Structure 1
Amino acid sequence: MLEEIKSVTAFFSKWLSDKFDQKVVNEFKNALESELLVRFKGHWYPSDPQRGQAFRSILIDGVQTDPLLMDIASRLGINLNDFENCLPRNCVVFIDPYRAVCKDLETGRGNSYHVIYQGKPEANNDLSKTLLQQKEIPKGVLIVSSSN
């Protein structure tokens, strides 16, 4: 669970790093990591990764940014308009055992997503090759492999 969460917090931190100083970005990253660890306790099912998926999602749908993100930004004194303007638009991040993805809600296609974390080494090797062969890796996409 920790590797998946760390990858997602790094994903969001990359979006913030263009607008905010590193101290604020690190504080946000640490607070989000702590909140997600607490939230997911009792809702993490490695033998059935899709179970509880909606509970473990972070939604930014163009109308509302996930309250968890907004609460953390508010507690840290971050300007909420600046904060929302830094984030990706119209997406949902699913954080599941062995995998975290950011699904694009704008395209309307069911399979339009970026992998943030892939924990199965055999799957990750193919994923890494595919992403590295692209001319540009989308901002915020990290290739992280599990040491397991």
Structure 2
Amino acid sequence: MKNEIAAVVFFFTRLVRKHDKLKKEAVERFAEKLTLILQEKYKNHWYPEKPSKGQAYRCIRVNKFQRVDPDVLKACENSCILYSDLGLPKELTLWVDPCEVCCRYGEKNNAFIVASFQNEDENKDDISKKVTRALDKVTSDYHSGSSSSDEETSKEVEMKPSPLTATPSPVYQISELIFPPLPMWQPLPRKKPGMYRGNGHQSHYPPCSIWLSKSGKEE
């Protein structure tokens, strides 16, 4: 357990020193307090025979739902420094398991191994080198100040409409949708007395014209 905790502490001190906001003495004090806090927290939740057991309890996490990790905050308070002076990423996850420590920048990026151990005999120099190599390897791939929400926002800004969606849709007024225009009907000619035949009932047909020849016969 001591090697895994040492890897976590080295990892944090490297990030803090990159931020260059705290003096060397403050960083060392923070590292000491964080070591003690993690040792106390993990001592009854460490299962070498089943490393995944208790993983969520040991996890150190910072994201948009949990802006501050309680254990890291406690280490800051015990060492009399401000949490904001650490300069930690907006989204960071550390899984501290027996024989391996993994990290992930951002909620949607891939995790990488900070340090792995075969036994408990490794010294601090070896652990420091492992952590340094891991951090240097991912520096070019992940930016410590970026978050997945920021990346999604920038992607949305860069997106362009496709030709299918770029064609504007016809614009309708609300009155046209609710009350469609009535069809135009030509008015029927007004009836005149004596122009309909039959038994006195009104005909449904329009009046017809009657032409008379010169002889007076109908044509």
Q: SS at 1:95's partner residue?
A: strand
C-alpha distance in structure 2 between counterparts of 1:54 and 1:13, whole Å: 23
Q: SS at 1:7's partner residue?
A: helix
Match of 2:80 in 1: 77
C-alpha distance in structure 2 between counterparts of 1:58 and 1:19, whole Å: 22
1:4 aligns with 2:4: yes
Match of 2:104 in 1: 103
- Amino acid of the residue matched to residue 137 of structure 1? K
- State how many pairs are aligned: 124
- Unmatched runs of 5 consecutive residues or more in structure 1: 122-127, 140-148
Percent sequence identity over matched residues?
A: 27
C-alpha distance in structure 2 between counterparts of 1:66 and 1:73, whole Å: 11
- Amino acid of the residue matched to residue 91 of structure 1? L
Is the strand fraction higher in 1 or 2?
Answer: 1
- Unmatched runs of 5 consecutive residues or more in structure 2: 120-128, 140-219
Q: 1:8-27 maps to which residues of 2 (within 5 A)?
A: 8-17=8-17, 18-27=20-29
- Cα RMSD (Å) of the superposition? 2.3
- Amino acid of the residue matched to residue 80 of structure 1? Y
Q: Give, in angstroms, the shift of residue 72 of structure 1.
A: 1.5
- Amino acid of the residue matched to residue 45 of structure 2? H
Match of 1:48 in 2: 50
2:38 touches 2:71 (CA, 8 Å); kept in 1?
no
Q: SS at 1:77's partner residue?
A: coil
Once the two structures are overlaid, the 10-residue window that deviates more, 2-11 or 72-81, is 72-81
C-alpha distance in structure 1 between counterparts of 2:9 and 2:43, whole Å: 17
C-alpha distance in structure 1 between counterparts of 2:82 and 2:94, whole Å: 23
Q: Give TM-score scaled by structure 2 length.
A: 0.52
Task: Report the structure number with the largest CA radius of gyration.
Answer: 2
- Amino acid of the residue matched to residue 5 of structure 1? I
2:89 touches 2:105 (CA, 8 Å); kept in 1?
no
Match of 2:90 in 1: 89
Match of 2:112 in 1: 114
Match of 1:143 in 2: none
C-alpha distance in structure 1 between counterparts of 2:45 and 2:58, whole Å: 8
Q: Give, in angstroms, the shift of residue 42 of structure 1.
A: 1.2
Q: SS at 1:137's partner residue?
A: helix
- Amino acid of the residue matched to residue 114 of structure 1? F
C-alpha distance in structure 1 between counterparts of 2:90 and 2:67, whole Å: 10
Q: Give, in angstroms, the shift of residue 20 of structure 1.
A: 1.1
